Structure 1
Amino acid sequence: MKKEFFEKIKLLNNFSFLVILIFVFFISFGISKTRFLTNGKESNYHIYPISIPKKVSFAGEEITLAEDDLIERMDKEFLVNTYWQSNTILLIKRANKYFPQIEKILIDEGVPTDFKYLALIESGLENVTSPSGAKGFWQIMKTTGKEYGLEINSNVDERYNLNLSTRLASKYLKKARDKFGSWTLAAAAYNRGMSGVQNKIANQNQTTYENILFGDETKRYVFRIIALKNIVESPESFGFYVDEGQMYKPIEYKKIKIDKPINNISDFSKDYGLNYKNFKIHNPWLLENHLNNKSRKVYTISIPSDKI
């Protein structure tokens, strides 16, 4: 009887020890998981609405959020872009890499630097292709690209050239601004087209973006730009903490002029310390493994400065 009693005590002790081990494991796992998700920093995760300012601005033009319609539209863009965390963190990182290059061109072209956020919402600063066929950071259609002088064919597509496409976008925006007298409406025209905006102005007898009834995409367009401008310029205010070392780094380029064909880009790139993949990453407008250039046009090749 005494022996059975001690056996039961032993079994109970073993069971208790097992329960404690399991408890410790899950507590440790939870702590490790929390530290992984918070980058090793203490975090109390709460979800809050966003405080909407009474006034917002874009390209030096102020919009007063005095109507429920305007407040709700602005609120939507702040909420969507704040709580789509993974996408917004990527946008913040890419902005750090590409905005310096874009800003220089916008300043050179006489366009407000706020328009860099237009490229951000158009493509996420990636060389993507839309369902309608628009390409590059600025999402330029083929007809528009050719109208403004870009070369677009099976060998070269200059919509993927960040310098040339930014200059095209600048020319379009300046033309729209001259037409409508407003940078905000110029931004709307980039989405809706100049004729589309002109028709809305004529039909509704209104001349400001916030007082014109646009379709769903265009009525969100400028507000989305403004929301991302505020988030990227002050990420901590919206709960985004990205260390400097986690940002994507800007690249300094040496520009190489070439006025002859390139028979083999794989071989050509080796002369500049690059393999084919990296050469194409920095020159995505070259579509094939060669450059035809029968007309002896002068092209500009971008080579990272640390390779020369």
Structure 2
Amino acid sequence: MERVNSTLLTEFILTGIPHPLRLRTFLFMFFLFVYILTQLGNLLILITVWVDPQLHARPMYIFLGVLSIIDMGISSIIVPRLIMNFTVGIKPIPFGGCAAQLYFYHFLGSTQCFLYTLMAYDRYLAICQPLRYPVLMNAKLSTMLVAGAWLAGSIHGTIQVILTFRLPYCGPNQVNYFFCDIPAVLRLACADTAVNEMVTFVDIGVVVASCFSLILLSYVQIIRAILRIQTADGRRRAFSTCGAHVTVVTVYYVPCAFIYLRPETNSPLDGAAALFPTAITPFLNPLIYTLRNQDVKLALKRLIRGP
């Protein structure tokens, strides 16, 4: 299709994930099941942290509750639209809806990066400076840090949506992706996107690289402190408090680096990689934190048993 410079687009068509027609019903049911479990699992974590007095007074679990809110938000922004692609008929997304989806995904996604960094710093203080931990990481400071993460994420999302949608889009309108993300949308722009691609690479690269470097630095210090613990049981308990966080960071950062921090390509693997931060990680986080965290498991038992 030729580009028509005189007519700007008012809607986009998301092609979704390439799939055989015979699997359409299965994929519809699978992602619907994943979405429902994601919402229920994260809601259960959020309620548990909120009502259990032993959890909501501790910064680590305040961060975990905020993570559940972010996971519910990312899943709600992306997965219902993905599920619609497995139904019959073409379902376009309005231009404004595409911009909103891109904004909220990058707003919540970058906030999640900052939150993972705060959680690593929290574990560093708890293990490396346990005597000073109540002073260094109190409820007031943790609330301020979370507010800063939300603010920084909002700024990042605003920059990305302004840069992306300041360009003219005059056709074609078919986005070869399952949601409105920067690389897929920029391919449809009727203008040079070199500046956008450079700024996107630098902006996202700075966020991902700085957060990951701080997390890595925290865990280097944590591992050194754990190895100095004399008893095997003490080392095991210290590692167990960090295992869940290391797992979710790995599952989140590796796909994000693959999608955004490499030369521009149009690989089918991009869509598969994007499923992890948008659908798989929000689904896995409640499972990882309930199966690997003894405090959360005990709090869930208290919640189920009641007073």
Greater length-normalized contact order (CA 8 Å, ≥ 6 residues apart): 2
TM score, norm. by length of structure 2:
0.25
- The structure that has the greater radius of gyration is 1
